[in-house]
Chains A and B, each alone.
Chain A
Amino acid sequence: MTESDSPFAASLDELGVTVTSTDRAGVPAAIDEAVVEPAVGVSPGEEFAHGDFPLAEAGIDLDPTPAALEAATTGVSVAELGIGDYGSLALTSTGDGSELVSLFVERHVALLHEDDIAPDMDEAVETLEKTLARTRGSTIIATGPSATADMGALVKGAHGPETVHVIVVEGGE
């Protein structure tokens, strides 16, 4: 497991988002380290050509009930894209509730393939345009934790997660 020094990692660092990079073999350990239990998650969808991440092995409730979701501290989901210059993640809403799992928790842990990091917003939006035109789906470009300045000072963790952790999975198939 290594700390990455890519531009993406640097952007995440500026946002206060912690990041670990690992090869596929190291994913369970990385998840184990990143989650604070109780943890829930969703299985990566079939459209992720890179195959399954071994979430279940890490003791994460992969199809939680709403009550389990509400009780969870951590939500684990897959990010479809990373955006290098902003440190953003593209989180696609799926029928099994990825949006709920990444939103109704205090801590969001996102898994991201290194290959899916777009260098900049321009390229990322271009990719999203193609995907959304085809799927007519929904994607959140999430950058750092949720935040508000409405109460007189900047506070992290408004309605959404207070902390975000990204696990970048290196290497191909």
Chain B
Amino acid sequence: MATADELRELMRTEGAAVAENTQGFNEGRYRSVAELSDYEELKSEARAIKEDAIERLPELLDELTETVEENGGTVYLADDAADANDYIREVVADRDADRVVKSKSMTSEEIEVNDTLEADGVDVVETDLGEWVLQVADEAPSHIVAPAIHKSRESIAELFNEVFDPDEPLETAEELTRFAREKLGEKIVDAEVGLTGANFVTAESGTMALVTSEGNARKTVAATDTHVAVAGVEKVIPTVGDLHPFVELIGRSGTGQDITSYVSLLTPPVETPVVDFDDDETPLSEFDTDREFHLVLIDNGRMAMREDDQLRETLYCIRCSACANSCANFQSVGGHAFGGETYSGGIATGWEAGIEGLDVAAEFNDLCTGCSRCVNACPVEIDIPWINTVVRDRINREGDEPADWLVDGLTPDAEPDSPSLQKRFFGNFETVAKLGTATAPVSNWLASTGLSRKAMAWALDIDPRRELPSFERETFVDWARNRDSTVEDPQRRAVVYPDLYTNHVQVSRGKAAVKVLEALGVDVVVPAVASSGRAPLSQGMVATARTHAQRVTETLAPHVDDGRDVIVIEPSDHAMFQREYEKLLDEATFTDLAENSYEVFEYVYGLLENGAAVGQLPSGDDEALAYHSHCQQRTLGLEAHTVAVLEQCGYDVVTSDVECCGMAGSFGYKSDYYELSMDVGDRLREQLEANGVQDRRVVASGTSCLEQIDALLERHPSHPIELLAE
């Protein structure tokens, strides 16, 4: 796991370039997919094709093998990296090749074929400009699509000028590109073997798709007489027709290009004449087209992933990089921290766990905060945060025993094995909060004294620069129990879910919600309900989270059966009910709750749409607000409701558009991640301090966001529901 020092260093040296590039890609993605009228259908289609292909993989592999052989090529199924490398080095040796030119291929990096070939004295040349920069610099990729994303133009110019000492020092991007093109162009035409990856391989015709922009993959194949393509077995799909949704989605999802310059549909061995580029006598048509073709399909853990009910989804990944670009943490640190041996970004956890093992995944898995911003971005609808959670759970279970004495009483622990002490503290925050409320203000005083802060920093790794929540003596549930409903002839009846923070810490927003709902004619009850399980889930404590889910639904089900709607104030808990509970509960129990629960502003919006009078709520009198929605709320498409209601009430609203505030539950509290959390938060701060925004009152829906904004700004933010109850 990267330490705070390592993360700080990465942010200092690479952060600016990584942030600029990933955010550019991410903005491009939003722009580009918005042009697709059938975006959601295309994603579902892509998903279905991958599901089917992985399901039928053995059969498709047989079909593909037969087809490629029919076409005149060879297929080699390699068990692992060593097996693949042995085969490739043999092909290269048989061809008596001095040079192998490569187009960009993550799979070839996974098996580290360059090292193998170089050990045999073969000159291996990366022809993708980004990969070549890294080869010259002897650095590792920091992004699965744009490998040199961490390098600025200035640093590339410096590198080239130092290594190649050109007559005129290189400076502009054009000069650097031209220089690289010429250098590499000479090497390509002299090479014997061309090694490519493949984004997709189709079983029916043996056609493979290569998605590129530079043209180097085309040259790599056209200018050599021996073509080796390396691909994971998961790349096989049935037909060329199945490529359609991927062709439309892959560029848009990744770098925000509608389509990359070249989608090569090659059915190797390709028919282009094999020419000698120095020949000035023989016309092209007189060269023959004899080419060798070797398709090396690599298992390397994939077939086992296919059998793994949780990791299988990873195999649907088309490596577009959307989950990296849309990730707030990735935008700050890049793939050198947020990645394993080969893969980086959100889905890398799945790949590295399956290919390298849990230990490699454990090195960066905690950087996924489960904010879920990648979920809608993924063109094959992979639940990336869930994969991160599952892997975290598995890592926890492999972990060392924590110092049990400190967590005694804090862990009604359904986890048979042991997550770290810190994870258990945050994971069982419900117990902490109960104790906190019972002993407030003693616990508040303790939490703020230097001594206990130090103890927390030492035992739990909570960053001393963070303020801890202060607990209210009277919980939201207790307050509600002691009052009577003010609604005589209710339009609807509802339960306000007393989430952990509303119940113990932000009691005022609970009261505000009740007041607003009653003003709109809703009869409200606030029963004591277990916490949602969000906290343990975010620590990878899946079994504990499941117990929470069961307790929550057991309490709420009778109310739902009784015709009450469930209103949720905290977006991360609402997201549990809408998304994660599907993984934790049986289908009927999940659906019952999901269909009957609403984020509080979603509900208010619905009430107003259905005839409730907005006049029952106080007018905003054109007050200017800055609203920061919550990551998981946005993933559920529920940002607009808050904005709409506030506008109906007469507020003038601007919204932030950063992917996450950086706090992400307990993430920002942890010493190792405090600075990263603040770096991510800085982007939100900039937006909230921008011209025209800096004097606006700030409202935010999420508890974590409110705490983060409180730390970032002079202004104190509040939950928007409190405005409607003023």
Residue pair B283, A65 in contact (C-beta under 8 Å): yes
Residues of B contacting A151 in the complex (Cβ-Cβ under 8 angstroms): 129, 133, 153, 156, 173, 176-177, 180
Residues of A contacting B153 in the complex (Cβ-Cβ under 8 angstroms): 151-153
In the complex, whether A73 has a CB less than 8 A from a CB of chain B is no
Smallest Cβ distance from A152 to chain B, in angstroms? 2
In chain B, what residue has the closest Cβ to A160?
B215
In the complex, whether B691 has a CB less than 8 A from a CB of chain A is no
Smallest Cβ distance from B318 to chain A, in angstroms? 16
Residues of B contacting A96 in the complex (Cβ-Cβ under 8 angstroms): 273, 284-285
Bound: A94/B284 CA distance, A: 11
| Chain B, range 280-338, C-beta contacts under 8 Å to A | 280-285, 287, 289
Most buried by A among B71, B127, B129, B185: B129
In chain B, what residue has the closest Cβ to A67?
B280
Residue pair B279, A65 in contact (C-beta under 8 Å): yes
Residue pair B128, A150 in contact (C-beta under 8 Å): yes
Smallest Cβ distance from A109 to chain B, in angstroms? 16
In the complex, whether A163 has a CB less than 8 A from a CB of chain B is no
In the complex, whether B239 has a CB less than 8 A from a CB of chain A is yes
Residue pair A103, B219 in contact (C-beta under 8 Å): yes
- Residue of A88, A140, A152 near B176 (CB, 8 A) is A152
A152-B156, A158-B129 known; A93 vs B272 contact (CB < 8 Å): yes
In the complex, whether B255 has a CB less than 8 A from a CB of chain A is yes
Bound: A153/B171 CA distance, A: 12
Residue pair B259, A146 in contact (C-beta under 8 Å): no
Residues of A contacting B205 in the complex (Cβ-Cβ under 8 angstroms): 132-133, 136
In the complex, whether B213 has a CB less than 8 A from a CB of chain A is yes
Number of residues from A at the complex interface, CB < 8 A: 55
Stretch with Cβ within 8 A of A (4 or more), from B7-15, B240-248, B412-420: B240-248
Residue pair B259, A86 in contact (C-beta under 8 Å): yes
Bound: A100/B273 CA distance, A: 8
Stretch with Cβ within 8 A of B (4 or more), from A21-29, A52-60, A118-126: A118-126
In the complex, whether B261 has a CB less than 8 A from a CB of chain A is yes
- Residue of B130, B148, B284 near A69 (CB, 8 A) is B284
Residues of A contacting B219 in the complex (Cβ-Cβ under 8 angstroms): 103-104, 159-160
Residue pair A95, B289 in contact (C-beta under 8 Å): yes
Bound: A42/B270 CA distance, A: 17
Render A85-107 as a binary contact track against B, CB cut-off 8 A, 1 for contact. 01010000111111111011000
In chain A, what residue has the closest Cβ to B263?
A141
Residues of A contacting B248 in the complex (Cβ-Cβ under 8 angstroms): 121
In the complex, whether B271 has a CB less than 8 A from a CB of chain A is yes
User: How many pairs, one residue from A and one from B, have CB atoms within 8 Å of each other in the complex?
Assistant: 205
Render A32-44 as a binary contact track against B, CB cut-off 8 A, 1 for contact. 0000000000100
Render A59-75 as a binary contact track against B, CB cut-off 8 A, 1 for contact. 00001111111100000
A66-B278, A136-B71, A143-B260 known; A125 vs B244 contact (CB < 8 Å): yes
Residue pair A146, B263 in contact (C-beta under 8 Å): no
Most buried by A among B247, B261, B271: B261
- Residue of A141, A150, A153, A157 near B262 (CB, 8 A) is A141
Smallest Cβ distance from B625 to chain A, in angstroms? 37
Residue pair B262, A142 in contact (C-beta under 8 Å): yes
In the complex, whether A7 has a CB less than 8 A from a CB of chain B is no
Residue pair A152, B152 in contact (C-beta under 8 Å): yes
In the complex, whether A171 has a CB less than 8 A from a CB of chain B is no
Enumerate the 5 nearest inter-chain pairs by beta-carbon distance, A residue then B residue, closest first: A152-B153, A160-B215, A67-B280, A158-B214, A97-B284
> Which residues of chain A have a CB within 8 Å of any CB of chain B?
42, 63-70, 86, 88, 93-101, 103-104, 121-122, 125-126, 128-129, 132-133, 136-155, 157-161
> Which residues of chain B have a CB within 8 Å of any CB of chain A?
71, 127-130, 133, 146, 148, 151-154, 156, 172-174, 176-178, 180-181, 184-185, 188, 204-207, 213-216, 218-219, 222, 239-241, 243-244, 247-248, 255, 258-268, 270-273, 275-285, 287, 289
| 22 cross-chain CB contacts under 8 A | A65-B279, A65-B282, A66-B276, A97-B273, A97-B275, A103-B215, A133-B204, A136-B205, A136-B206, A140-B218, A143-B259, A143-B261, A146-B213, A146-B262, A147-B213, A147-B214, A148-B129, A148-B130, A150-B177, A151-B156, A152-B176, A160-B219
